[in-house]
Amino acid sequence: MIGHLNIYGVYVPMLLVLMLGTYLLKSLLAMTLARLGLYRWIWHPPLFNLALYVMVLGALFTLTPGLES
């Protein structure tokens, strides 16, 4: 099956795995940006975090082979 991950007989959508990985990467990036003090230059941090999440998810989706149907 393309786009699914088999974990002991349970098929998990690959997009779910990518979304969890994206959340972890986005959290690390946001923590790094906060420590560097770059959030003071951002007008709307929640909107910026959403955009960051979408960009990282798109990058992971593009870099993951075998997801094209």
**Mean pLDDT split into 10-residue runs, the chain, 69 residues:** 79 90 96 95 95 96 75
Q: What is the pLDDT of residue 65?
A: 79
Q: Which amino acid is at 38?
A: L
The tokens for 49 are: 């975090």
Q: What is the pLDDT of residue 14?
A: 87
In sequence order, the β-bridge partners of residue 10 are 7
Residues in CB range of 48: below 8 A, 6 or more apart? 39, 42
pTM: 0.83
The tokens for 10 are: 């349970």
Q: What is the pLDDT of residue 67?
A: 66
Q: What is the pLDDT of residue 1?
A: 45
60: left (phi over 0), alpha (psi -120 to 50) or beta: alpha
Per this entry, what is the length of the chain? 69
Q: What is the pLDDT of residue 25?
A: 97
